[in-house]
């Protein structure tokens, strides 16, 4: 075999190892989301269509996230 093949094989074998370690450690205990209150800010006047949609969205997110 060519002498350059061994470093190449080693690099290919070792490359996925940090990624696998990261995936297994972070997926074991996912963080609670959201960890603090979420605030929706609507930059238009109250009672406008955008305000109504934001209120409906906020209500649904509150039901889903608890």
Residue 64 has pLDDT above 60, yes or no: yes
Is 8's pLDDT higher than 70?
Answer: no
- Give residue 56's pLDDT: 93
Task: Report domain extents, the chain.
Answer: 35-66
pLDDT value of residue 17: 58
How many Cα atoms sit within 13 Å of 63 on the Cβ side? 5
What integer pLDDT is reported at residue 44 of this predicted model?
Answer: 85
Render pLDDT for 10-61 as a digit per residue (tens, 0 to 9).
666 666 555 555 555 556 666 777 778 888 888 888 888 989 999 999 999 8
pLDDT at 59: 92
SS3 per residue for the chain:
CCCCHHHHHHHHHHCHHHHHHHHHHHHHCCCCCCCCCCCCCCCCCCCCHHHHHHHHHHHHHHHHHC
């Amino acid at each position: 075999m060519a002498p350059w093949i061994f470093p190449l094989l080693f690099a290919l074998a070792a490359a996925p190892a940090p990624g696998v370690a990261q995936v297994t450690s972070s997926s074991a205990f996912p963080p609670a989301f959201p960890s603090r209150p979420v605030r929706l800010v609507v930059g238009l006047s109250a009672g406008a269509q955008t305000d109504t949609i934001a209120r409906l969205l906020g209500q649904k997110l509150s039901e889903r996230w608890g």
